[in-house]
Chains A and B, each alone.
Chain A
Amino acid sequence: MSADPGVDGPKSPLHQRFESCAVVAALGRGEPFGLEELKRFAKDLMAAVTEKVAAAGALDIGHIKAVVESGQCFIYANTVGDPKDITVETNKETPQGDVSLTLNAVVLGLEQGKIHMAAHEGMLMTAERYRLEIRKP
């Protein structure tokens, strides 16, 4: 939808130190995932991205959230930066085939390029742990 210069404005001053980034990827491996293993993957992914973003110097993690899909199965994982408090919800369908991942991170006090790098590193680290290859970055 096109912008409307009569209504659209500059970024609100209240948003100035918030930046966000996205990671979208298709991942795969030879053996299929079970639902519990895919939930663990989603949870570990949240923890890894949180760790990397914090290490990169974020003042605060606003929200890291991801949708992990495999066949009819989808998992919604999110955290506000506390590794002990990662929420993972699922529609309980059985995963089938490759995994597609859509992740958003909203962070306070870190530039967008650094958030992206940290989120990508967290994704790669978790993928490696689950023997997943990046099919499509």
Chain B
Amino acid sequence: MKLVQVAGYLGSGKTTLILDLVRALAATGTKVAILVNDVGEVPVDGKVLSLSGMTVKDIGGGCVCCQVAGSLMKTLEILGREQKPDIVIVEPTGIAVPESIKETARLAARKTPVTLGPVIVLFDTTRVEKLINFDTINRLVARQVKDADVVALSKVDAAEDNDISRAVEEVARLNPKAKIVRLSVRSGEGLEEIVRRTQQEMAPA
């Protein structure tokens, strides 16, 4: 099973993308499992996905990139043993560091057949100034972007052109190797590309 992260800062549109992504993958016959880690005390994202008809495993009690990494590892082992999905989509908290999650997946790979798929990081183009210049947030977002294989510039339908240009510039500066995709869940722009990237083969864990 391949682990695909849909990461990105709080409110960047991860849950909304996953809803469409999972439907698109299921339509191609791909067996998908979803792991959701909410930073809050109760799982809202997992509830939304469940109410939308998806089977979700919630990981609570802290951030999966640090405090509850062990829960992620154990959940991957259980999924690998019981459900054997083709793809596991992990929605970490909006403050998670993707590389730390990859480290945990590498540890899990010692016991369970998990490979690393792409890290898709959403960058909200309606909040570019905050993501680039607001102290604390900018350090976290920079780290997320640096860890990405694909950066999805989210909400492009609602953003100003100059903000989208600034976002492209900043992402390219932080991570020149990342594939940049313009994404609008509302119009469907970029979704096909994200689906294609999700299905692509990557290096073993």
Instruction: Say yes or no: is B177 at the interface (Cβ < 8 Å to chain A).
Output: no
In the complex, what residues of B have CB within 8 A of residue A20's CB?
39-41
8 Å CB contact of B70 from A4, A18, A24: A4
In the complex, what residues of A have CB within 8 A of residue B97's CB?
12, 14
Closest 10 CB pairs of A and B: A4-B70, A104-B40, A62-B10, A80-B11, A22-B41, A63-B10, A7-B70, A22-B42, A63-B11, A12-B66
Residues of B whose CB lies within 8 Å of any CB of A are 9-11, 38-42, 44-45, 47-48, 51-52, 59, 61-63, 65-71, 73-75, 94-95, 97, 100, 104, 107, 124, 126-127, 130, 134, 136-137, 139-140, 143, 158
In the complex, what residues of A have CB within 8 A of residue B45's CB?
65
Q: How far is the CB of B39 from chain A (nearest CB, A)?
A: 5
In the complex, what residues of B have CB within 8 A of residue A91's CB?
51-52
8 Å CB contact of A66 from B44, B74, B75: B44
Instruction: Tell me the residues in window 82-115 of chain A with beta carbons closer than 8 Å to chain B beta carbons.
Output: 85, 91, 102-106, 108-109
Q: How far is the CB of A124 from chain B (nearest CB, A)?
A: 18
Q: Is the CB of B67 within 8 A of A10?
A: yes
Q: Is the CB of B11 within 8 A of A8?
A: no
With the chains together, A62 CA to B71 CA distance in Å? Answer: 24
Q: Is the CB of B136 within 8 A of A3?
A: no
Residues of A whose CB lies within 8 Å of any CB of B are 1-12, 14-15, 17-18, 20-22, 24, 59-60, 62-63, 65-67, 69, 74, 76, 78-80, 85, 91, 102-106, 108-109
Q: Is the CB of B69 within 8 A of A4?
A: yes
- Contact status of A106 and B10, CB under 8 A, knowing A12-B66, A12-B97, A14-B143: yes
- Contact status of A9 and B41, CB under 8 A, knowing A4-B73, A62-B11, A108-B137: no
With the chains together, A105 CA to B71 CA distance in Å? Answer: 23
Q: Is the CB of A62 within 8 A of B94?
A: yes
